[in-house]
Amino acid sequence: MSKEWAAKPLSDRGRLRTDTDGAPLYASVKQLILDKIHSGEWPPKQRVPSENELVAELGVSKMTANRALRELANEGELVRIQGVGSFVADRKGHSDLFEVRNIAEEIAERGHQHKAIVVVLAEEPASPAIADSLGLTIGCPVFHSLIVHHENDVPVQLEDRYVNPAAAPGYLEQDFTTQTPNAYLMQAAPLSSSEHIVEAVMPHAWECKLLMMLRTEPCLAIRRRT
Amino acid sequence: MSKEWAAKPLSDRGRLRTDTDGAPLYASVKQLILDKIHSGEWPPKQRVPSENELVAELGVSKMTANRALRELANEGELVRIQGVGSFVADRKGHSDLFEVRNIAEEIAERGHQHKAIVVVLAEEPASPAIADSLGLTIGCPVFHSLIVHHENDVPVQLEDRYVNPAAAPGYLEQDFTTQTPNAYLMQAAPLSSSEHIVEAVMPHAWECKLLMMLRTEPCLAIRRRT
DNA sequence: GAGTGGTCTAGACCACGCG
DNA sequence: GCGTGGTCTAGACCACTCT
């Protein structure tokens, strides 16, 4: 940090804190930094003031500075590296409306039991729709897995996946009751841009059966392409 | 809280902290509480120890107890009410895969400029599909709004909304360039269970025009029902 | 008034990364 | 060794709710 980036202290030493604007001090510190980021004054990769600098220049305590920076990091605005500093995060690919997460992890986080039942795991000729979405020719062999995920023995998700054999040759040999297809593919396929499409559908009869649900309930379908 | 729910202090007063298991103290406190919740020992609505009780019974400082409880609240495990206490959160309607947020707030959070353009705001006879989803009879008048949301003058979202006139009589008189329909409805309609459906669609030609996008790009559509 | 969450401080110690 | 983030404490004050 150079020297002068903030005009005056935000607090006057212990006294007067909720008086300037009614907001908590750490929130004011956050906003002050956010403004710099959003105005472009502090571009991505730019180093932001350290905790100690905030303490010295804003007259706040280290805990307050820490909380401001920590929350900004949690919100994805900053990246903090111990022993190095805090930096403005790269702006990630636009819409962070959704965060599609690993079903097994999510269930485990809730302290529930996850179970996967493999209904189908085979090689099939690609249908026109599948071939198109995978960029293959019609009838070309593709790997197909159909897995029902259970949370505490209640079926909650149906994973119907088609995989390009060239991308994951060992796909059919995997045991997807212990490892999620996602986990395997992450490890098998180095890096490729992924895209999630989420849609709402009325379930087909066979899908209802697998999920033990009523035909009238709409479902969420997640289409992944990698 | 009764009396004995935690056997021994987690810390030994200032010294020894990262030694028992390598985890930060506040994380241990979080885990201790999480275990009680996930084991069912503390069911939803159950009051959890207050900050001061954690201080007294675990021998941690108030800030540490506060951070543990605060983070659990942020993660949706607890609900905290000032002046009352902290309580185990109700298990929300299954899938928290998504968090559909207010478009205006989200853009503002990014520090960008939000603009809404009202394309349609009128009363129309309900189509069969609309009538069905609103629980009205076909041809029955419904309010229809079609709004394009812009982020920094780039169209990013198309909001095509049908509203039951009985629920929001003043709907047509609103200025949705300054207030989001959501915000108005939240205020107009006391409380009713809401449901979000998210789907992926190929945009229609008129939709492409409004969003200035290619016909070949898939879109996310959000269906709300309240 | 008592209890609760919420914030703030001043100072301390630790683990880490860099020169 | 120094600066960084990361954690922790002890004590303080505030706003709020309930009784």
Query: Bigger pLDDT: A16 or B146?
Result: B146
Q: Please report the pLDDT score of residue A69 as a whole number.
A: 96
Distance CA B73, CA B86 (A): 9
Q: Read off the amino acid at residue B57.
A: E
At A193 the pLDDT is: 40
| CA dist., res. B10 & res. A42, Å (int) | 41
Same domain, B121 and B65: no
| A38 part of contact set with chain B, CB < 8 Å | yes
CA of B216 to C1' of C1 (A): 68
Tally the domains of chain B: 2
Residue B151 burial class via C-beta count within 10 angstroms: exposed 0-12, middle 13-18, buried 19 and up: buried
The per-residue pLDDT for range B101-114, each reduced to its tens digit, is 567 776 776 667 78
Asked if residue A63 lies in contact with residue A22, where contact means CB atoms within 8 angstroms, the answer is: no
Task: Identify the domain boundary among B92, B127, B153.
Answer: B92
Q: Specify the pLDDT at position A174.
A: 80
Query: Where a domain ends, among B92, B114, B149?
Result: B92
Same-domain pairing of A137 and A191: yes
pLDDT of residue B219: 53
- Asked if residue A112 and residue A58 are part of one domain, the reply reads no
The pTM (predicted TM-score) of the whole model is 0.55
Instruction: Please indicate, yes or no, if residue B160 is contained in any of the structural domains.
Output: yes
Provide the residue-wise pLDDT of chain B in tens; the chain has 226 residues.
545 566 566 655 433 344 456 789 999 999 999 999 988 899 988 999 999 999 999 999 999 999 999 999 998 889 999 999 999 987 653 344 444 456 777 677 666 778 888 888 888 888 777 777 666 778 888 888 888 888 777 777 777 778 777 767 777 888 877 777 766 665 555 434 444 444 445 556 676 666 565 544 445 555 555 5
- DSSP reduced 3-state for B87: strand
Q: Per-residue confidence at A20, pLDDT binned at 50, 70, 90?
A: low
Q: Who's near A88: CB < 8 A, 6+ residues apart? A: A37, A42, A43, A44, A45, A46, A48, A77, A78, A79
Domain membership of residue A7 (yes or no) is no
- Structure confidence at residue B94 (pLDDT): 39
Task: Of A83-97, A159-173, A191-205, give the lowest mean pLDDT range.
Answer: A191-205
> Is A5 among the domain residues?
no
Residue B67 lies in a domain: yes
Return residues 75-134 of A near B (CB < 8 Å): 95, 97-101, 106, 110-112
* Strand-pair category, B78-81 with A219-225: unpaired
Q: Looking at the structure, do residues B202 and B148 belong to the same domain, yes or no? A: yes
CATH number at residue A185: 3.40.1410.10
β-pairing, B114-125 vs B85-88, is unpaired
**A115 and A58 housed in the same domain:** no
User: What distance separates the 2 farthest-apart alpha carbons in chain A?
Assistant: 75
**Average pLDDT, rounded, for chain B:** 74
CA distance B15 to B59: 12
Beta bridge partners of B47: B87
Q: By CB neighbour count within 10 A (0-12 exposed, 13-18 middle, 19+ buried), where does A217 fall?
A: exposed
Residues B72 and B131 in one domain: no
Is residue A155 located within the same domain as residue A107?
Answer: yes
Footprint of strand C on the protein (CB under 7 A): A 11, 13-14, 17-18, 24-28, 59-64, 67, 81-84; B 18, 48, 50-53, 62-63, 66, 69-70, 73, 80-86
Question: Looking at the domain assignment, is residue A78 inside a domain?
Answer: yes
The average confidence (pLDDT) of chain A is 73
Residues A84 and A115 in one domain: no
Find the CB nearest B197 among A106, A156, A218: A218
Residues A84 and A107 in one domain: no
Which of A88, A76, A79 lies closest to A33, judged by CA? A88
* One domain, residues A216 and A129: yes
Chain A hits for B200, CB-CB cut-off 8 Å, are 197-199, 223
* Inside any domain, residue A19: no
More confident residue, A130 or A46: A46
Residue A14 lies in a domain: no
Same domain assignment for residues B2 and B87: yes
Please tell me whether residues A108 and A55 are part of one structural domain.
no
- In angstroms, the CA A66 to CA A47 distance is 15
Residue B97 lies inside a defined structural domain of this protein: no
Domain range enclosing A44: 25-88
Domain boundary among B92, B120, B151: B92
Whether A25 shows a pLDDT value over 50: the answer reads yes
Question: How many Cα atoms are found within 13 Å in the side-chain-facing hemisphere of B216?
Answer: 1
Most confident of the following: A119-128, A200-209, B58-67, B74-83: B58-67
